[in-house]
Amino acid sequence: MLDPSQERAAAALLVSHWDAGTRLDALPEVLRPRTRAEGYAIQSHFMEHTRAPLFGWKIAATSLAGQRHVQVDGPMAGRLLAEKVLDNGSTVSLANSNMRVAEIEFAFRFGRNLQPRSKSYDVAEVMAAVATLHPAIEIPDSRFNDFCIVGAPQLIADNACANLFIPGPAVEIAWRDLDLAVYPVSGVVVGKSEHQGKGANVLGDPRIALTWIVNELSSLGIPLLAGQVVTTGTCVTPIMVAPGDEVMASFGPLGALSVKFS
């Protein structure tokens, strides 16, 4: 079992690679988490390397295909750091990117706190705490050379492959009346390809995914706070991108946003 000094050292090593745009094969044996709990303990120390309040959370591996791809048996939670949040229409450099993908996601901003408790939250309770819905693009990445083989504890320690996040404006129509599970979304690489998806690709429903992360954090003693945003995982198979590409994400009446890559 890792002690707090080892957890901090592991987090500092991962953050140093994140900042430098470099990667490692695996955490050193003496710093390597063996369980999901140890991975989350390391991840918690990422907050010692930022001065801004936590922007929110992400969910990784919300589809069976995604879980098989990175060889994990379930979703993983990661922190969205405020300094990694970009404006709609931003340009992102791929110079040091490992994954080189864009993901089209539903994100929710909370209007009130959900505190840790022994009883699981249900979907209705979680949705009652949500203030706004947002279309979003996530640009994940990993600090590991081959993120498909390191396993869930190290991926969680690596902030569940969190990197850059682009939230769109709050949805203005009555979105609570919509069935987000069947709601269609699309991503277009301008002049190259079109990619279709729907909310059901995210643990069956983005609202179910949102409830999963609330309960995952609750089990770790972590509250989900008013103002924080949770992005619930990609509704479209991750879109491969290259320098010069522009990705347009369309949520129909719920909004649209874009990102360019250099």
Residue-level pLDDT, tens digit, the chain, 262 residues: 999 999 999 999 999 999 999 999 999 999 999 999 999 999 999 999 999 999 999 999 988 788 888 999 899 999 999 999 999 999 999 999 999 999 999 999 999 999 999 999 999 999 999 999 999 999 999 999 999 999 999 999 999 999 999 999 999 999 999 999 999 999 999 999 999 999 999 999 999 999 999 999 999 999 999 999 999 999 999 999 999 999 999 999 999 999 999 9
- Residue 139 confidence (pLDDT): 98
- Residue 78 confidence (pLDDT): 98
- What whole-number distance in Å separates Cα of residue 206 and Cα of residue 178? 12
- Dump the DSSP string for 207-233: HHHHHHHHHHHHHTT-PBPTT-EEEEE
| CA nearest neighbour of 35 among 153, 157, 150 | 153
- Residue 63 confidence (pLDDT): 81
Domain residue ranges of the chain, discontinuous segments joined by + = 52-261
The answer to pTM > 0.85 is yes
- Residue 52 confidence (pLDDT): 94
- What whole-number distance in Å separates Cα of residue 78 and Cα of residue 74? 13
H or E, element range at 187: strand 184-189
* Domain 52-261 CATH assignment equals 3.20.20.140: no
Q: The tokens of 55 are what?
A: 């922007």
- What whole-number distance in Å separates Cα of residue 34 and Cα of residue 107? 30
Residue 84: partners with Cβ closer than 8 Å, 6 or more residues away: 55, 162, 163, 164, 165
